[in-house]
Structure 1
């Protein structure tokens, strides 16, 4: 009898142990092992926010591997020796779950996050002899670093650690001295390219998409998914100037897909993810109450002034048939074309404030990576398609399709320069991810294919200031930056780098050079 009772007790204990192992307490596991660095609310602290919106591709098996093995070149340790496999799986599921409510991140939280690392110095010229207008800022996503590259010698000037998962591309002040980075966690960092010094950082959101800088270089706009805000910061000290709680005219809240600078208009243009509106925000303190050519009518959605009828940060709403994002602008910024639902694009005339054409573009165009040039006496734009191996070329006068150029596979980036007759595009979204296609902008034909390294992803071309050299990323953790002669297509130099996801030339960016993203 005693033996039977003992056996029953052991079986019950084993069952309870098995149940406990089958259902680990993820909340407690997170509090005990993760909260100190990532925050008890998962919004980030020393480490990044652990939310599905912020992690992007770092979820599922990849997140489990990082928890188990740690992450090189960071303070993230491995927990394989401390946590069982089912406990790691429970943590992965926990951080992959969205928060139940949109968290508060307003002026108080933003101001409290600001960190000042150094003060800007008064200088007449940089402290190095490289051409400051021909520098490249290279984002190395593999280990969260950035390299400042001399664009004449193709030699690094410095390399430094950045925030986790930079996103949306760095932006430069008009004089090219300061560059601003933004992380997916909403951190905005100000870096001095003349002294190679990080100056200050502030967290403007919890999940951010991109930033833009005003034409006068005084203001930064931050587009946020979490919370639903558009934040205006001063470029001088990263202080908060204004926060827009983003809602349409009916009060429906929306994420902000992206924000863009519109230099000829002295404004920002914001894409709203969840509502049928585009916002234009004045960056001219002397902006008139009604923009030239507009009808002053709330019914037509032409202008809404906040807080007064004119001046800095006045808001104008433009109603569109459906939410748009991934914009491309014509050079005068009179028109934009935006992606609607899959296979559809809508052209909006910003002068009259309404959509003027809808067109079918099957294959999901990546409009934000489009480029434009003059062809056969007219302005055309070209955009890669994310789901088909094609480049769509559009006439920017009537938005008709001029030609479809076949490529080895669906691509993500397309680049050129006003001083070269060629445009370069990748096929990184398909099986031929290692192949770049070079298109003659005069004939609209592919004239050369290049494979920097067989089997390795080749992407994101950027030209130097002169347009004589094209820099290509081998988009791998053990990757490289490859320098090509843009005329002969011969390789000149190769620099090892850790997943160089993007490279940005100072001159091309501040002059809005043809062929580069804006």
Structure 2
């Protein structure tokens, strides 16, 4: 496969390819798709040069939105509009067809994954990057508006390069411990390896059909891919993206589940996986010399006892931790002894990873976004804060006894919260509300909002990330003609504004590889 195929893949989002001819009164959507769209998107709708056309992969791009793309085309891509060639009934039929689920979970195992692997270049042996910027203070900026990424010098705030990515990157890029390589993942399950020292795309592989996120092991040798479709957790080698192991996501009783997320637990030399549909958490060892683990602790409230079930040891040994109900959206305390997971709305469960069972249930109404939680030390005690998705509030919890310390009011419901160990302030957005353009700056010492900033009135401001030293805060304006706005983190004065196409997220190398307390992991 030539490198140009990557550009073709990105350029086509929802193409009708070569649809022609008069629309029938009752269009046969399956035939329309097979005759005209399969060449780009695959006869099975799993994607080819174009992305997969499945409801799980399209997200909110369904119904009228999908029909509009087919009719009018897609900006910043090669997707043309077909309103002049297709009748409205044909367009509506195609939009309905791609929004329908497949009749069964398709096969996508080691054979299919390996067959998709593409190598574009090989990384040379280098002692240092081929540029003079600090490699530990680079930002990787995902521009969702036109499916590009920008590598930004975090000292000068100047782009080093900009390149196309796969369609709809998802879950945040991840870095090897030395900061040289970054891995992207698309909603279609494509994992891409990029060399930050040479600014070169090296290789790609499709590890799933609909994927949620990736994580890299502490030693930087393994990648875990969490898949909704099929129900798998895939282990890849970071060296060449070859398959190392595929876990079928099933609980002890054989019930299948989507894998909603996977995380690195650095102090434990393991991955932690969240299962969407069954009451289990998985811990997978990433140390080849790991001692024996347990397949889980079955906590029987009726019998009042805990049974330890022995399992294997070493690399990828699986430990099952049973919980009262399925958990999602994890937050880990800094030592990675405990995690908090969202259960049903208004309730969260604390799981102690050392003993392997739930130890506390918390009332957290208004749907906390735990995955965006941050931690710091307040009056000598570790605390965490999490925004709420249904109210303009932030909950602050004591991480020793899990008590609620304070609820901080914000202008409206938000999604992201960020800080840095070298700043006394935390920044939170209100992007889920009418005040989507306003960020609240909270003093971590007093738990009071001390300032609000509005980068651009009327446009969504979100996803703050700090530079390596915590001296600057970078804010995204989520618009196709958006920008990255750089603020002085001490004075809150705007320093620079860099035009970008919907910069949905930006990720600082140093903060990510050191697991800064103020950023998501």
Q: TM-score, normalised by structure 1?
A: 0.94
Which of 56, 59, 84 lines up with 1:56 in the alignment? 59
Q: For residue 301 of structure 1, report the CA deviation from its aligned partner.
A: 6.6
Separation of aligned partners in 2, 1:35 and 1:342: 40
Distance 1:384 1:297 in 2: 31
What displacement does 1:34 show?
1.5
Is 1:398 aligned to 2:408, yes or no?
Answer: no
Distance in 2 of aligned mates of 1:301 and 1:142: 51
Partner of 2:77: 74
Structure 1 residue aligned with 2:3: none
Once the two structures are superposed, the pairs formed by residues 24-39 of structure 1 within 5 Å of their partners are 24-39=27-42
Match of 1:310 in 2: 313
1:443 CA drift (Å): 0.3
Give, in angstroms, the shift of residue 360 of structure 1. 0.9
Alpha-carbon deviations, 1:62-99, whole Å to 9, x = none? 21121112223333222222211111111110011011
CA RMSD of aligned residues (A): 1.6
Equivalent position of 2:8 in the other structure: none
Alpha carbons 1:463, 1:471 under 8 Å: kept: yes
Deviation of 1:20 (Å): 7.2
**Which structure 1 residue ranges, 4+ long, deviate > 4 Å from structure 2?**
294-304
Q: Secondary structure at the match of 1:176?
A: coil
In the alignment, the residues of structure 2 paired with residue 20 and residue 70 of structure 1 have an alpha-carbon distance, to the nearest angstrom, of: 19
Equivalent-residue separation in structure 1 for 2:299 and 2:517 (angstroms): 36
In the alignment, which of 469, 477, 481 is matched to residue 474 of structure 1? 477
Structure number with bigger Rg = 1
C-alpha change, 1:297 and 1:289, in structure 2 (3 Å) is farther
Identify which of 492, 495, 499 aligns with 2:495.
492
- 1:22 offset after TM fit, Å? 3.8
Is contact 1:117–1:199 with CA below 8 Å preserved after alignment? yes
Which residue of 1 is the match for residue 281 of structure 2?
Answer: 278
Equivalent position SS for 2:457? coil
Counterpart selection for 2:228 from 225, 247, 258: 225
Work out the CA distance in 1 between the residues paired with 2:408 and 2:60: 30
Moved more, 109-118 or 78-87: 78-87
CA drift at 1:414: 0.2
* Counterpart position of 1:12: none
- Show the counterpart of 1:334: 337
C-alpha separation between the residues in 2 aligned to 1:441 and 1:106?
47
Structure 2 Cα separation of the partners of residues 472 and 20 of structure 1:
47
1:237 maps to which of 240, 259, 263: 240
Once residues 312 and 161 of structure 1 are traced to their aligned partners in structure 2, the CA distance between those partners, rounded to angstroms, is: 35
Select 2:142's aligned residue among 139, 146, 152.
139
What do residues 323-370 of structure 1 show as CA deviations (whole Å, max 9, x unaligned)? Answer: 001000001100000000111100000000000000111110000000
Instruction: Please name the residue that 1:207 is paired with.
Output: 210
Task: Please tell me whether residue 413 in structure 1 is matched to residue 416 in structure 2.
Answer: yes
Report SS of the residue matched to 1:326. strand
1:321 is the counterpart of 2:335 = no
Partner of 2:364 in structure 1? 361
Contact conserved, 1:290 with 1:296, CA < 8 A, in 2? Answer: no
SS at 1:91's partner residue?
Answer: helix
User: What runs of 5+ residues in structure 1 fail to find an aligned partner?
Assistant: 1-18
What TM-score comes out, normalization by structure 2 length? 0.93
Deviation at 1:29, TM superposition (A): 1.5
Q: Is the 8 A contact 1:301 1:316 kept in 2?
A: no
Bigger mean CA deviation after superposition, 183-192 or 25-34: 25-34
> Secondary structure of 1:507's match?
helix
* CA 1:295–1:259: 2 relative to 1, 3 Å: closer
1:138-190: CA deviation from partner (whole Å, max 9, x where unpaired):
00001000000000000000000000000000000000000000000000000
- Aligned residues, how many? 495
1:5 — aligned with what?
none
- Give the Cα–Cα distance (whole angstroms) in 2 for the partners of residues 402 and 217 of structure 1: 37
Superposed CA deviations along residues 458-482 of structure 1, whole A, max 9, x for unmatched, are: 0000000010000000011111000
2-structure distance, mates of 1:318, 1:249: 10
Is the CA contact 2:298–2:321 (under 8 Å) kept in the aligned structure 1? no
Q: Evaluate the alpha carbon distance shift between residue 301 and residue 84 of structure 1 in structure 2; reply closer, same or farther with a 3 A threshold.
A: farther
Query: Are the counterparts in 2 of residues 346 and 358 from structure 1 also a CA contact under 8 Å?
Result: yes
Q: Distance in 2 between matches of 1:302 and 1:262?
A: 22
Distance 1:516 1:94, change over 3 A: same
**Cα distance in 1, alignment partners of residues 195 and 419 from structure 2:** 27
Q: For each residue in 1:218-244, what CA deviation from the matched residue of structure 2 results, as whole angstroms up to 9, or x when unmatched?
A: 000000000000000000000000000
